[in-house]
């Protein structure tokens, strides 16, 4: 069965420090990988995706993510955190086989950036 794990319920960082939000997955074959962010009372917003090619993917708002096939991980990173980055982050995967765009989401990680 396909699954996504975000091992940390919450990540706390100080503003200006680098941040990492972890994600590991269990999917047969090579999946498509996504990160979404959810601000309070707002819908999920797309941040970035990995399809193929370079393992380091750059996305919106200075975020990037590193795909590691051997570790089946897709960790979200940012070199310098902002207080405004505080939100709920979701990792998601989608299989390449079949004709479905179904996303499997992790349970989410709350990022708290303190001034």
Partner 1 sequence: GAGVSQTPSNKVTEKGKYVELRCDPISGHTALYWYRQSLGQGPEFLIYFQGTGAADDSGLPNDRFFAVRPEGSVSTLKIQRTERGDSAVYLCASSRGVGEAYEQYFGPGTRLTVT
Q: Could you list the residues that contact partner 1 (CB under 8 A)?
A: 4, 32, 34, 36, 41-46, 49, 51, 90, 92, 94, 99-108
Helices and strands in the chain, H and E counts:
0, 12
Smallest distance from the beta carbon of 28 to partner 1, in angstroms?
Answer: 16
CA of 93: how far to CAs of 43, 64, 67, 106, in Å? Answer: 18, 16, 12, 9
Q: Smallest distance from the beta carbon of 80 to partner 1, in angstroms?
A: 25
Minimum distance from residue 27 beta carbon to partner 1 (Å)? 13
Helix (H, G, I), strand (E, B) or coil at 98: coil
User: How far is residue 63's CA from residue 58's CA, in Å, rounded to a whole number?
Assistant: 6
Residue (81 or 93) nearer to partner 1, CB: 93
């Amino acid at each position: 069965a396909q699954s996504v794990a975000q091992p940390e319920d919450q990540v706390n960082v100080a503003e200006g420090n680098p941040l990492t939000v972890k994600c590991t997955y269990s999917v047969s074959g090579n999946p498509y990988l996504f990160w979404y962010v959810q601000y309070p009372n707002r819908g999920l917003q797309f941040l970035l995706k990995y399809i193929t090619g370079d393992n380091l993917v750059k996305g919106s708002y200075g975020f990037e993510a590193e795909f590691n096939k051997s570790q089946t991980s897709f960790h979200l990173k940012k070199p310098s955190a902002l207080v405004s980055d505080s939100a709920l982050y979701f990792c998601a995967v989608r299989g390449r086989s079949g004709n479905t765009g179904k996303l499997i989401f992790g349970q989410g990680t709350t990022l708290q950036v303190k001034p």
